[in-house]
Amino acid sequence: MAIKVGVLGAKGRVGSAVCDGVNAADDLELVAQVDQDDDLQMLIDAGAEVVVDFTTPGSVMGNLEFCVANGINAVVGTTGFDEERLNQVREWCAADGAGNVLIAPNFAVSAVLAMAFAKQAARFFDSAEVVEYHHPHKLDAPSGTAIHTAQGIAQARREAGLGPIPDATEQTLEGARGADVDGVRVHGIRMTGMVAHEDIIFGSQGQTLTIRQDSYDRTSFVPGVLLGVREVAGHDGLTVGLDGYLGV
């Protein structure tokens, strides 16, 4: 029996890619495509067991209140969740017969795994650096993901009692050694033709380990969303972050 899926924000760029993904999966059935002026009741009428919400901070809380109260599980990529909002969702989820909720800032499975592996590996190496590669239209450098990765590495090193990363540099051109994020060097490359890529490099005596993540197009979040749809029924209450579903 296929899982019955409703998509909120179905006409958006992201929502429509989710609809395509659901339609292409044998074990999922797209039963409702809801957009901004539609009545949420159509989810219940269609028998939706899971909804996917890529809408707006302004509408997502109303959507979740309705779904959770009606026992519909939700997979949410909409942004704007602070601790207050998360606590509200937790409260809704605690009611009898409530739906489960997964809220994740990043559904690219490869990126989430890369960061998780980086945290696991960090304490075993003398050196660690992060290099991210993006198209030249990107406004920030380094990327948020690269900063977050470096922070995760730095924290794992601190917890393991490691000292500073070795670096004998005496003569340098300004910027050559990258940005310093909690003691971990981060480099941003801007390159026409590229999409979004990251190298996380670890080194110790005679060896390196490199975790490379490549995003080739803007639909790379789809497999992570479908994973969430398939597994949300088995994760009670609210889960924040896809890593909780990946076992890493």
Please enumerate, by residue number, every residue annotated as part of a binding site for NAD(+).
9-14, 35, 77-79, 104-107
Q: Which of 61, 201, 235, 244 binds a second copy (CB under 8 A)?
A: 201
Count of residues that bind a second copy according to CB under 8 A: 78
* Binding-site residue ranges: 9-14, 35, 77-79, 104-107, 135, 144-145
Q: Which of 73, 125, 229, 231 binds a second copy (CB under 8 A)?
A: 125
Query: Tokens 């977050």 belong to which residue?
Result: 148
Which residues between 210 and 239 bind a second copy (CB under 8 A)?
A: 210-220, 222-223, 227
- CA dist., res. 18 & res. 222, Å (int): 6
- CA dist., res. 50 & res. 47, Å (int): 9
Residue 107 interacting with a second copy (CB under 8 A): no
Residue 177 interacting with a second copy (CB under 8 A): yes
Residue 41 interacting with a second copy (CB under 8 A): no
DSSP-assigned letters across all residues of 199-216: EEEEEETTEEEEEEEEE-
Would you tell me the crossing angle of helices 13-24 and 222-231 to the nearest 10 degrees? 60
Residues 6+ apart with CB under 8 A from 83: none
* Binding-site residue ranges for (S)-2,3,4,5-tetrahydrodipicolinate: 135, 144-145
Residue 136 interacting with a second copy (CB under 8 A): yes
Q: How far is the CB of 88 from a second copy (least distance, A)?
A: 31
Cα-flanking dihedrals φ and ψ of residue 197, to 5°?
-145, 150
Q: Is 4 an annotated catalytic residue?
A: no
Q: Which amino acid is at 235?
A: H
Which sequence positions are flagged as catalytic? 134, 138
